[in-house]
Amino acid sequence: MDLTKTYPRSVHAKWQGIVQLGRTIDKAKAVAHGNVGEYRYNCGMDQAVFAFLGMDHEALLEVVKKAKSDAEIEAYTKAFIAKKSPSEIEQWNHQWVSSKPEGDSLKAFLELRSKLAPDRTDVMSWADLLDLDEKRPVPIRSLV
């Protein structure tokens, strides 16, 4: 994965049923290969998925560095995911892609949104804003 030439997966994309995790793994792969570019592995969004799964970021990075295939990474993450019920996963996924930024995060969010798409006031989550930033289509959402 070379994040100097391409984007990581969308926050919305699921890895073994979990949103954000595929993006986090893409960044880990880029770190492992020395081409993470402007992205940060173990950023706040990655930390949230690690906390949800009870996973250590350094341990995952070591697995990614040594893995010869995605199957080895899947085997590692599967053990953490298996500890969550389908309803916990569904709730996490929904909450994660729809959560709205607060505090300092809100200020950074609004600055970036006004720079990228000032007319898209319907975009209220980091997941959607990152998709816009990475040139992915984001459906127009109702402001109600």
Confidence at residue 99, expressed as pLDDT on a 0 to 100 scale? 87
Confidence at residue 141, expressed as pLDDT on a 0 to 100 scale? 82
Q: Are 82 and 53 contacting, i.e. CB atoms less than 8 angstroms apart? A: no
Please give the model's pTM, rounded to 2 decimal places. 0.89
d(C-alpha 141, C-alpha 43), whole Å: 27
Confidence at residue 144, expressed as pLDDT on a 0 to 100 scale? 60
d(C-alpha 65, C-alpha 39), whole Å: 17
d(C-alpha 58, C-alpha 41), whole Å: 10
| Helix, strand, coil percent values for the chain (each to nearest 5) | 55, 5, 40
Q: Which residues in the chain show pLDDT less than 50?
A: none
| Main-chain dihedrals φ then ψ at residue 89, nearest 5 degrees | -65, -45
- Give 71-78's long-range contacts (Cβ < 8 A, gap of 24+): 73/25, 74/16, 77/15, 77/16, 77/21, 77/25, 77/53, 78/16
Confidence at residue 49, expressed as pLDDT on a 0 to 100 scale? 96
